[in-house]
Amino acid sequence: MRVSLLLRCCRDLTGSSSDRTRSSVVNGLRKKLNDSMNCFTDIRQLITAEYKETVERRYYTVTGEKADESTIDRLIATGESEMFLQKAIQE
C-alpha cells in the first residue's frame, strides 16, 4: 500500500499532464519574452543611431565642421546636444 502510494506521488510530481502543460506554457512564455527583449534591443539601437545622426547634422549646421564620434558621444552624454542648436539660434 505504502509503495503504491509513494509511486503514485512520484509519478504525479515528475510527469503529470498538468506538469507537462505548465512546462510547455512556461517555455512558450520564455521564448516570447526573449523575442520581445530582442525586438526592444533592436529598436533601441535604431533610435540611438538616428539620434546620433541628428546630433551630427546639428553640429555641422552650427559649426560647419564634421564632428567626430567622440564629440557626438560627449554632446549626447552631457546633454549638451539638446542645447547646442538652441544656443546657436539665440546668438
Report pLDDT digits (tens) over 10-42: 555 557 888 889 889 999 999 999 999 999 999
Output the pLDDT for position 44. 97
Backbone angles phi, psi at 67, to 5 degrees: -80, 145
Query: SS3 of 64, please?
Result: coil
Q: CA-CA distance, 63 to 35, in Å (whole number)? A: 42
- Give the start-to-end residue ranges of the domains of the chain: 18-90
Residue 73: all three cell numbers together: 558621444
Task: Give the pLDDT confidence of 42-58 residue by residue, as tens digits.
Answer: 999 999 999 999 999 99
Element housing 46 (H / E):
helix 17-63
